Amino acid sequence: MISKLLLFILILPISAQAFDKDFTAMSDRVPLEFTHLFNSLKMGIKTPAEKIQMVGICKDLDENLGQLQKEHIFLLMKSEVIKNVLEYKFKKVRQFDMTLLLLDRLEEDFKNKERYLNSFSQWIWRSILAELRYRQDMGLITARTFDANQFDGAKKSEAQRFARYLTYLMPWIDRMDSLTAPEFNNLSKQVSWVILRRLNERSLLFKRYASTATSNTKITIFNIPQKLLELHPEDIKRMQQNEVPLTLKEESEKAKTEATKQVQDVTPEDLSPLSDEINEELNKKIP
């Protein structure tokens, strides 16, 4: 018991410092959206199991994407963040009348909550508000309730496009309107895990099919301290929850196995929808 306690006292501060301060995403090698996601998630997770899982996924991403060219890493990460935010599945969604009054209310609410939101939550808020203001500037959001059928000519096609886009925005508008800042931060944390896991699955696809877009030297996407790669948290976890978690190696192998099962029958054509741009870029590299 004493040896376990000493292990806890000695290892935990070292690993915590390595995770909190030294475990980073290279800001010049990943898009801003992912930087916000990474930093917010890292600050929001507390348990050893979550920390090991995050380190394991990032280690896999480093291995799978490190051979790609920088612009392809950027595009893949950016598209996956945006796609999975918009397509996140909510159980219930309240319907709103899209009006200028609603937009003004959301902006005022953001001012009150902003200081309490983490950077990824702020990015989600700002992105949606910017999109709505853009549609207002186009004359689509007014004092009247938005209805695509009210528009004619060239503006009608824009209104119809916006109406389709609203099916993705409305669930978020509902949560922006109804959740407190801590609750919204918890939601963005859940979404961040979905994005990381999905990005890990995508990275296996690109490692398999994107050989024509590889760079001459390996790009390091994350700085992962060796202390974290060597950490075995069994004793720490057992003292906290009386159970033995997976080691980093076991967690990594489990994630790889699960992701491989999902992609083993996939062809390059299955990289769409938002990865179509990457496909086009990759095709340009083929002689």
Domain residue spans of the chain: 2-84+187-285, 100-180
Dist CA 131 CA 158 (whole Å): 13
State the helix-helix crossing angle for 48-65 and 234-241, rounded to 10 degrees: 150
Q: Report the range of poorest mean pLDDT among 169-178, 216-225, 247-256.
A: 247-256
Is 25:180 a contact under the CB 8 Å cutoff? no
State yes or no: pLDDT of 117 exceeds 70: yes
Whole-number pLDDT of residue 7: 43
The HSE-up count of residue 285 (CA atoms within 13 Å, CB side) is 16
pTM over 0.85: no
Mean pLDDT of 166-177: 95
Q: What's the rounded mean pLDDT across residues 79-85?
A: 94
Which residue in the block uniquely carries the two structure tokens 């376990």? 4
Q: Indicate the range of 6-15, 50-59, 112-121 predicted with least confidence.
A: 6-15
285: confidence class by pLDDT, cuts 50, 70, 90: very low
The pLDDT value recorded for residue 213 is: 54
The token duo for 38 is 């990474």
Q: What is the pLDDT of residue 211?
A: 58
Does pLDDT of 101 surpass 90? yes
Q: Mean pLDDT, to the nearest integer, of 155-184?
A: 95
Which of 240, 247, 246 shows the shortest CA–CA distance to 4?
240
pLDDT for residue 271 is more than 50: no
Q: How confident is the prediction for the chain on average, in pLDDT?
A: 79
Closest CA to 128 of 141, 145, 115, 143: 141
Q: Which residue has the higher pLDDT, 16 or 224?
A: 224
For residue 264, the 8-state DSSP code is T
277: pLDDT strictly greater than 80: no
Look at residue 181 in the predicted model and tell me its pLDDT: 97
Whether 238 has a pLDDT exceeding 80, the answer reads: no
Q: In which band, very low, low, confident or very high, does the pLDDT at 38 lie, cut at 50, 70 and 90?
A: very high
DSSP-derived 3-state class of residue 25? strand
Q: Which of 1-15, 16-30, 31-45 has the lowest mean pLDDT?
A: 1-15
- pLDDT for res 10: 44
**Orientation angle between helical segments 119-137 and 153-178, nearest 10 degrees:** 150
Query: Is residue 83 packed enough to be buried (19+ CB in 10 Å), middle (13-18) or exposed (0-12)?
Result: middle
Higher pLDDT, 232 or 29: 29
- Give pLDDT, residue 240: 39
Name the burial class of residue 96, with classes exposed (0-12), middle (13-18) and buried (19+) by CB atoms within 10 angstroms of its CB.
middle
10-22 pLDDT, tens per residue? Answer: 445 545 666 767 7
Q: Would you say residue 74 has pLDDT above 80? A: yes
Query: Mean of the pLDDT values across residues 90-96?
Result: 86
